[in-house]
Amino acid sequence: MPDETLSAELEAALLRAVADAWHTLNHNYFKGMLRPPVIALAEGEGKLGEWRRGTRTLALQRRLVVDQPWGVVVEVLKHEIAHQYTSEVLGDPDPSPHGPAFRALCDRLGIDGRAAGMPTPDEQGAPPEGEARVLGRIAKLLALAESQNQHEAEAAMARARELMLKHNLQAPPGRRPYGFRHLGAPTGRISEAERILANLLADQFFVEVIWVPVWRAREGKRGSVLEVCGAPVNLEMAAYVHEFLTHTANRLWRDYQLAHGRPSRDRQTFLAGVMAGFRDKLAAQARASAAEGLVWVGDADLRTYHRRRHPYMRWTRHTGNVRNEAHIQGREAGRNIVLNRPVTSGPSNGSVKLLRG
């Protein structure tokens, strides 16, 4: 069991971070209509959070805020702010805390309104049966991409992506369940390679992406983590691609550094090149699909879901790494990557998983 103890300084910083998150959510979801409550940490194994009207206290379970990912903390915080809104703005119209008015508010704002249980990022649970079959077929195709024959491996990867494209083009509008996931570990500074990878997922794998702020309780530091939103089959694939490319790019860097004796300062430049090279490769495949009349123009319903989760978004511009020999070599290595090795698929806790062998 993890040690839940924080120093007084770290706990004070954590409470400030929760209060800052409350203010952001109040502004983004509730138009600033709520007055700040007392923020407290609660002991014990019972409720994850609680709104206490009598003392105007919003309490979150200590273990939750210390040991769970910050995205889970924010989802619980949203739920409790919805209770605060129902209480102080709507005047407690329901006979029970999770009555019709509360549930309607949560449905409208995209908040998990369940009375108990840890929030799950895949809000709709396991992929529907049809999407599970597609995942199985994709896993088989990517297993073929294990071939030592480069041409066969490339063809298998291209067929897997074309299957994803056709599945998304044929999906009935307005009837797909959507969810979200946080990919990778929170980071203090987002690298160019991470940004290219995020954009690659958005451009080629049928998800919406956004970098969301997090608080790292045990370090007392802010950070960011990548959130992807999409249909279950696309979340599965995006999660696999993110893990696969992160792992592969770092392996390629180690090989390159060992072979050429490059200094560690070239690492981020090389990794950015790898991601850019793989992006080039997928863009070429997309052009080939477009020539066959398969053109993805986006998912309006997904954009609506994404906007509901993040009512206020901002875009920023960033400069890239130096374009030196390490970047050139990284880009070439990226163009040679073949997606493979999620060789198995099958039910895991009710969902289909693509796993690296």
Q: What is the pLDDT of residue 341?
A: 61
Note whether 158 and 285 are within 8 A (CB).
yes
More confidently predicted of 297 and 262: 262
Q: What is the pLDDT of residue 148?
A: 84
Q: What is the pLDDT of residue 2?
A: 46
Q: What is the pLDDT of residue 3?
A: 45
Q: What is the pLDDT of residue 321?
A: 67
What's the mean pLDDT in 321-346?
79
pLDDT tier at 340, thresholds 50, 70, 90: confident
pLDDT tens-digit series, residues 348-357 = 333 334 433 2
Rounded Cα gap, residues 178 and 231, in angstroms: 5
Question: What CA–CA distances, in Å, run from 283 to 154, 161, 286, 290, 304?
Answer: 14, 12, 5, 10, 26
pLDDT at 38 over 90: yes
What's the mean pLDDT in 312-328?
79
Note whether 68 and 51 are within 8 A (CB).
no
What's the mean pLDDT in 196-215?
95
More confidently predicted of 345 and 332: 332
Residue owning tokens 């696309």 = 234
> Among residues of the chain, what percentage have pLDDT more than 70?
89
Per residue in 216-248, is it b (16+ CB within 10 Å) or e — as a string? Answer: bbeebeebbbbbbbbbbbbbbbbbbbbbbbbeb
Rounded Cα gap, residues 184 and 342, in angstroms: 17
Note whether 85 and 33 are within 8 A (CB).
yes
3-state secondary structure of 261: coil
More confidently predicted of 119 and 211: 211
Q: What is the pLDDT of residue 315?
A: 73
Q: What is the pLDDT of residue 95?
A: 86
pLDDT tens-digit series, residues 146-199 = 888 888 888 999 898 889 898 888 887 777 788 999 999 998 889 999 999 999
> Domains, the chain, ranges and CATH?
8-109 (3.30.2010.10), 129-352 (no CATH)
Q: What is the pLDDT of residue 133?
A: 85
Residue type, 215: W
pLDDT tens-digit series, residues 252-287 = 999 999 999 889 999 999 999 999 999 999 999 888
Q: Which helix (H) or strand (E) holds 51?
A: strand 49-52
Note whether 38 and 67 are within 8 A (CB).
no
**Averaged pLDDT score across all residues of the chain:** 87
pLDDT tier at 72, thresholds 50, 70, 90: very high
pLDDT at 127 over 70: no
What's the mean pLDDT in 49-67?
94
Q: What share of the chain is helix, strand, coil (3-state, %, to 5)?
A: 50, 15, 35
Note whether 263 and 210 are within 8 A (CB).
no
pLDDT tier at 319, thresholds 50, 70, 90: low
116, exposed or middle or buried, with CB in 10 Å at 0-12, 13-18, 19+? exposed
